[in-house]
Amino acid sequence: MEWFRSIVLFTAAIGFARWITPGGTFEPYLKFIVSLLTLAVILSPLLAEEELAVWQGTASLPTVTQETWAKETEKIQAVQQLQIREVLARRIAQEAETLLRDDFPGITEKDIEVYIQQESLESGASLPCIVTVHTEETDRAEDIRQQLQSGLRLPQSQIRIKGKESTDG
């Protein structure tokens, strides 16, 4: 009922405003503005109900249960662990390439693979990783292993040297 009363009062106010304002060049603009305001008054109950529902918290927002929150948290943590492993592997590969650069110029970061076990990050234990170097200098594998072992402080069992596969077709 209040909505109907506001429409009647608004229409009366607009009629009075039109009566006291002179016509002329501004009349089309005034009609357009009045149309927009009339539309706003007519639609105001719909907008008011939505705003009221949002402010009162009764709007239909998705509910988050503790179970879904826990699942989403696990997903986020898994993605973060994967990102940490990737960054750590990249840094170890860069460090290995830096250690080998002077004595073995044919070995680049692309030739170095680093595998970090997931469990090591979760348990907080020392970093068990496997560093694999692909090189054509397999006759100097022990020298490469020694250099990486001392520079990266990894046990010899975690450093692998493999022959580089040829890409000739």
User: How far is Cα 143 from Cα 18, in angstroms, rounded to an integer?
Assistant: 96
Query: Are 94 and 158 contained in the same domain?
Result: yes
Mean per-residue pLDDT of the chain:
79
CATH code of the domain covering residue 143 = 3.30.300
Give a yes or no: residue 140 inside a domain: yes
pLDDT mean over 14-22: 76
Give a yes or no: residue 81 inside a domain: no
Give a yes or no: residue 71 inside a domain: no
Tell me the CA distances in angstroms from 77 to 44, 82, 87, 89, one per residue in order: 45, 9, 15, 18
Give a yes or no: residue 132 inside a domain: yes
Query: Are 96 and 153 contained in the same domain?
Result: yes
Hey, is 43 helix, strand or coil? Answer: helix
- Domain range for 157: 89-163
CB atoms closer than 10 angstroms to residue 70: 10
pTM tops 0.75, yes or no? no
Give a yes or no: residue 31 inside a domain: yes
Would you say residue 39 has pLDDT above 70? Answer: yes
Give a yes or no: residue 61 inside a domain: no
Which is higher by pLDDT, 50 or 83?
Answer: 83
Give a yes or no: residue 144 inside a domain: yes
* Number of compact structural domains in the chain: 2
DSSP state letter for 102:
T
